Structure 1
Amino acid sequence: MLGFSRRVEVRRCPLRPLERRSTGMPLAFAFQTTSAVEVLGSMAIACRGLFKEFDNIVSTLFSEENAKYLVAGALAGIVSRTFVSPLEVVATVNMCSAGSCAPPMEQLRQLFVTEGFKGFFRGNLANCMKVAPTKGIQFVTFELFKRLISKIRQAQGRDTKTSLHPVERLAAGGAAGVAAALVCYPLEVAKTLLTTHPETYKGVFGTLYTVVRQQGVRSLYRGLAPTLLAMFPYVGLEFMIYEHLKLRYEEWTNNERPHIMVLLSIGAVAGASALTVCHPLDVVRKRMQLQGVGGRPIQYSGFFDAMKSIAKQEGAPALYRGLSPTYMSVFPSAGVSYVIYEGAKTALGVRSFS
Structure 2
Amino acid sequence: MLPKEMDIEKVGDFDLRFQLPDLRHAFRDFLGTREVGEFASGALAGAMTKAVLAPLETIRTRMVVGVGSKNISGSFLEVIDQQGWQGLWAGNAVNMLRIIPTQAIELGTFESVKRSMTSLQEKWKQNQSPKVQIGCINLNLSLSWISPVAVAGAAAGVVSTLVCHPLEVLKDRLTVNPQAYPNLGVAVSKIYKDGGVSAFYAGISPTLIGMLPYSTCYYFMYETMKKSYCQSKNKKSLNRPEMLLVGAVAGFTASTISFPLEVARKRLMVGALQGKCPPHMAAALSEVIREEGLMGLYRGWGASCLKVMPSSGITWMFYEAWKDILLVQKAHSL
**Range into which the TM-score falls when normalised by the shorter chain:** 0.7 to 0.9
Residue 109 (structure 1) aligns with: 77
Contact kept in structure 2, 1:226 and 1:303, CA below 8 Å: yes
Residue 247 (structure 2) aligns with: 267
Pairs within 5 Å for 1:209-248 = 209-248=189-228
Pairs within 5 Å for 1:1-354 = 64-97=33-66, 101-157=69-125, 167-293=147-273, 296-298=275-277, 300-350=278-328
Deviation at 1:312, TM superposition (A): 2.2
Contact kept in structure 1, 2:58 and 2:175, CA below 8 Å: yes
Inter-partner Cα distance in structure 1 for 2:146 and 2:255: 18
Could you tell me the TM-score, scaled by structure 2's length? 0.80
Q: Per-residue CA shift, 1:227-257, capped at 9, x if unaligned?
A: 0011111111111111111112222232243
More strand by share: 2
Deviation at 1:166, TM superposition (A): 8.2
Inter-partner Cα distance in structure 2 for 1:167 and 1:275: 21
Inter-partner Cα distance in structure 2 for 1:158 and 1:310: 52
Deviation at 1:116, TM superposition (A): 1.5
Residue 55 (structure 1) aligns with: none
SS in 2 for 1:234: helix
Partner amino acid, structure 2, of 1:156: W
Inter-partner Cα distance in structure 1 for 2:99 and 2:242: 24
Deviation at 1:269, TM superposition (A): 0.2
Greater CA drift, 113-122 or 176-185:
113-122
Cα 1:95/1:198, change in 2 over 3 Å: same
Inter-partner Cα distance in structure 1 for 2:30 and 2:115: 12
Inter-partner Cα distance in structure 2 for 1:156 and 1:72: 31
How many residue pairs are counted as aligned between the two chains?
286
Inter-partner Cα distance in structure 2 for 1:302 and 1:278: 17
Inter-partner Cα distance in structure 2 for 1:250 and 1:208: 47
Partner amino acid, structure 1, of 2:295: P
SS in 1 for 2:238: coil
* Ranges in structure 1 where 5+ consecutive residues have no aligned partner: 1-59
Deviation at 1:345, TM superposition (A): 0.2
Contact kept in structure 1, 2:213 and 2:254, CA below 8 Å: yes
Inter-partner Cα distance in structure 2 for 1:347 and 1:317: 45
Contact kept in structure 2, 1:68 and 1:350, CA below 8 Å: no
Inter-partner Cα distance in structure 2 for 1:350 and 1:237: 27
Partner amino acid, structure 2, of 1:174: A
Partner amino acid, structure 1, of 2:320: E
Inter-partner Cα distance in structure 2 for 1:319 and 1:265: 27
- How well do the aligned residues superpose, as a CA RMSD in angstroms? 2.4
Contact kept in structure 1, 2:170 and 2:187, CA below 8 Å: yes
Percent of pairs identical after alignment?
30
Partner amino acid, structure 1, of 2:223: E
SS in 2 for 1:258: coil
* Ranges in structure 2 where 5+ consecutive residues have no aligned partner: 1-28, 128-143, 330-334
Q: Per-residue CA shift, 1:156-214, capped at 9, x if unaligned?
A: 2269xxxx978331121011100000000000000000000101113334312220012
Inter-partner Cα distance in structure 1 for 2:126 and 2:235: 25
Residue 29 (structure 1) aligns with: none
Cα 1:61/1:174, change in 2 over 3 Å: farther
Larger Rg: 1
Contact kept in structure 2, 1:126 and 1:203, CA below 8 Å: no
Contact kept in structure 1, 2:218 and 2:250, CA below 8 Å: yes
SS in 2 for 1:202: coil
Inter-partner Cα distance in structure 2 for 1:229 and 1:107: 29
